[in-house]
Amino acid sequence: METAVPAQMKRNLFLLACCQAVGQASNTMMFTATALSVVTFMHDRELATLPITMRHLGIMLSVFPASLLMQRFGRRLGFQTGSIMGMIGATASAIGLYDANFPLMCLGGLILGYSTANLQMYRFAAVELAPLDMRAKAISWVTSGGVVAGVLGPSLARWTHDQWVPLYLGTYAAMVVLHMIVFTILAFIRFPPPVPTTPVTGSSDPTARPLWVIATQPRFCVAVIAGMIAYGTMSFLMSASPLAIVGCGLPHTEAHWVIFLHVMGMFLPSFFTGNLIQRFGVTTIMLVGIALLLTGVFAGLSGMTDWHFRVALTVNGVGWNFLFVGATTLVSTTYRPSERGKTQAMNDFLVFGTTATSSFFAGVLQERMGWFALNWFSLTLLAVALVAVLWLRFQKPREALA
């Protein structure tokens, strides 16, 4: 009997990592395809990343309803609802591309935002599938599913982008299939039952704290700031990189290759990030993540050859992993089970509000000011994260939540 629980836990985490792999592959395909597909029928390149911005806006608007749906009815129903929205959003984007209908592509991005909001909550579901002392490892294991996504997403984008006319129509069709696969895998995961709630308070725990009390904890504030800047900086540079690469005269396939290296950088470290956090502490790993993100920015400022893009985006991905997994681990210590829905939703609302803004300005600044300006602006964001994490590191340690 003692081995049954670990075996079940490993099975659930493995299947959740598979969902992460397939779902994140679809997400990567959208990043790869969107800007380059839009410019096939629109001459205004400044708006080429707008569907990605709408996706981030969709995430921001979806995190509260998606999280509260899961709090009340369970993770499986919530995640499968996200998969259905992914199918609808990818279909809308494909129709928009086929008809050269930019507003419909933006609507597709907005709908895909609901699906991505659910995808981002896999890391919180991982925490609930593992013992308390394995939080960082569980987050890291599930996040490692992105390694498969790093191979599968760009590979599918390369294979499908010119299969149908117009370019990238086949890519959106493949995204629909991937969401169908995720929907199926979710049926085999045994999630914990939802915490009972009452209609008035939204929780059966009379000691549950108001959201503002949770959100003003120093650990929560620093975790959110770090998560916002990790995702914001990553999205800022990742969204603009295909336009910058093609704008330099490099081929479309180089953009696919750079995104592949970037995604591998984002998720390959997940095999050991959890162990590093347990050994060296969460703030230490977050500081290493900031240092790596800074290194990626300096690589981007050093030149615009294929290898400059490859190194800059790869190191950017590794830095994102350390900083974001650390931030997620930190935020998971700031709430009780009865408070998880609203706390996780607030965290992701703020994080993806930042990414919505950064992805929109990525296209505008890339066209008006160029790749170097984007990298210089990223330095300012990372300086804020550095100050916040250092401040928390030198605070007196607080007891963990009961």
pLDDT at 204: 53
pLDDT at 292: 96
Confidence of residue 363 (pLDDT cuts 50, 70, 90): low
pLDDT at 397: 57
Q: Flag whether pLDDT at 3 surpasses 50.
A: no
Q: Flag whether pLDDT at 401 surpasses 50.
A: no
What are the tens digits of pLDDT across the range 364-382?
777 777 788 888 888 988 9
Q: Flag whether pLDDT at 119 surpasses 80.
A: yes
What are the tens digits of pLDDT across the range 257-315?
888 888 888 888 888 888 899 889 999 999 999 999 999 999 988 888 888 889 999 99
pLDDT at 151: 83
What are the tens digits of pLDDT across the range 178-235?
999 999 999 999 998 876 655 444 455 667 788 889 989 999 999 999 999 998 888 7
pLDDT at 44: 73
Helix (H, G, I), strand (E, B) or coil at 378: helix
pTM beyond cutoff 0.75: no
Residue type, 62: S
Residues 6+ apart with CB under 8 A from 219: 330, 331, 333, 334, 392, 398
Helical ranges in 248-269 per DSSP H = 252-267
What are the tens digits of pLDDT across the range 56-104?
788 888 888 998 898 888 999 999 999 999 999 999 999 999 999 999 9
Nearest to 331 by CA among 392, 249, 245: 392
pLDDT at 283: 93
Q: Flag whether pLDDT at 354 surpasses 90.
A: no
Domains and CATH numbers, the chain: 4-189+211-393 (1.20.1250.20)
Rounded to whole angstroms, the Cα distance separating 74 from 357 reads: 31
pLDDT at 196: 62
- Cα–Cα distances in angstroms (integers) from residue 74 to residues 71, 79, 373, in the given order: 6, 9, 44
What is the CA 156 to chain-centroid distance, rounded?
Answer: 19
DSSP state of 164: S
